[in-house]
Amino acid sequence: MRKYLLKRVFYMILTLFLVATITFFLMKLMPGTPYSNQQKMTAQQIQIMNEQYGLNKPMWLQYLIYLGGMLHGDFGVSFQFSNQPVSYLIASRIGASAQLGFQAMIFGVVLGIIIGAVAAVHRNTWVDTLCTILSIIGKSVPNFVLAVLLQFYIALKLGWFPIADWGGFSYTVLPTIALGVGPLAETARFIRTGMVDVLNSDYIELAKAKGLSRYGIVYHHALRNSLIPLVTLIGPYTVALMTGSMVIENIFSIPGIGEQFVKSILTNDYPTIMGVTMLFSAGLVAVILITDIIYGIIDPRIRLSGSGD
């Protein structure tokens, strides 16, 4: 176990190092300058600005400074927001994104489990068909289309929820739904497939023969056993939520990381792009590692590869 963990952590650091390196050199290749009106600036002004942001140093030195700074959480200063450190920008915005992502994950997974379980229990009836159709639609309708529709018809027309911005819980409802529908559809399909398998197995037959109630069978035997593989989906869900947050936060004007990321791309704000890239990568790598460990703990049949040899 310990050897396995060390190996995984090593790969994790390697991945992050690669991402940092690739990002850094790609950013240097980027077209455009960070200054919005460079034509109007004198050569001297540009030089002063370059010195201030460390852009006059040789590339390798910039790279080392960048790597060194990152080790203690310093991602440089944003070009877009004057003199604001990127780490501060990220720190002040991560709360909204994290809350939204967490809520969407809970919403999608919990509702997905319920829908998938109901579909599996009522297999090959109209309930099952309805659930399958819903999950196909949920998987196929892009979340940003759904977000615009929700925003217009539920927030603007019906006025049930605030249209945009970030305040209390009511502001989070629509973005959460829009973000969570993807994971919901995926979970429902996954749980249904898993449960149909489990419901056909011998131990369910035995449980029925023992005279357990239908609820008892579904809850204690079928659902629990089909929940375990769901852990493996947390990684892909995290990716989906990160991707989704970029566009959902934009539509609902939520001051989060995704919105910041889009803004920084459109304004050539290199340090912020690099900072958010590193944050996303680190987040995903950590989530994958944690889910692998959890999976090994809750399902003893899974032997972590590398722990045996």
Partner 1 sequence: MEEKIKLSPESFEALPKAEELDNEKIAAPSLTFVQDAWRRLKMNKGALISLFVIILMMVVAFGSTPFINHDSLVKSAPQYANLPAKIPGVPINGFNGKLKVSGEWVDEYKQNNVPSNKYFVLGTDYLGHSLAQRIIYGTKISLIVALVATFFDLTLGVAYGITSGWRGGRVDNIMQRIIEVISSIPSLVIVVLMLVVLKPGMTSIIAAIAISSWTTMARMIRAETLQLKSQEYVLAARTLGETPWKIAWKHLVPNLSSIIIIQTMYTIPTAIFFEAFLSFIGIGISSPQTSLGVLLNDGQKNFQFLPYQMWYPAIVLCILMIAFNLLGDGLRDAFDPKTRR
In the complex, the residues that contact partner 1 under the rule CB under 8 A are 11-12, 14-15, 18-19, 22-23, 26-27, 29-31, 136-137, 139-142, 144-145, 148-149, 152, 156, 192-193, 196-197, 239, 242-243, 246-247, 250, 261-262, 265-266, 273, 277, 280-281, 284-285, 288
Burial of 81 (0-12, 13-18, 19+ CB in 10 A): middle
Q: Smallest gap, in angstroms, from Cβ of residue 93 to partner 1?
A: 17
Q: Which is nearer to partner 1, 18 or 48 (CB)?
A: 18
Q: Smallest gap, in angstroms, from Cβ of residue 15 to partner 1?
A: 5
Burial of 255 (0-12, 13-18, 19+ CB in 10 A): middle
Q: Smallest gap, in angstroms, from Cβ of residue 29 to partner 1?
A: 5
Q: Smallest gap, in angstroms, from Cβ of residue 85 to partner 1?
A: 21
**d(Cα 20, Cα 127) in Å, to the nearest integer?**
49
Residue 20: which residues within 8 A CB-CB, separation 6 or more? 66, 67, 70, 274, 278
Residue with tokens 């449960």: 195
The answer to whether 258 touches 144, Cβ cutoff 8 Å, is: no
Q: Which is nearer to partner 1, 158 or 266 (CB)?
A: 266
Q: Which is nearer to partner 1, 32 or 300 (CB)?
A: 32
Q: Smallest gap, in angstroms, from Cβ of residue 276 to partner 1?
A: 9
Q: What is the number of other CB atoms lying within 10 angstroms of the CB of residue 293?
A: 16
**d(Cα 294, Cα 277) in Å, to the nearest integer?**
26
Structure tokens at 305: 């590869």
Sign of the Cα pseudo-torsion (173, 179, 182, 183, in order):
negative
Q: Which is nearer to partner 1, 41 or 162 (CB)?
A: 162
Q: Smallest gap, in angstroms, from Cβ of residue 226 to partner 1?
A: 12
Residue with tokens 């590692």: 289
Q: Which is nearer to partner 1, 17 or 219 (CB)?
A: 17
Q: Which is nearer to partner 1, 29 or 209 (CB)?
A: 29
Q: Smallest gap, in angstroms, from Cβ of residue 203 to partner 1?
A: 19
Q: Which is nearer to partner 1, 31 or 168 (CB)?
A: 31
DSSP, res 85: B
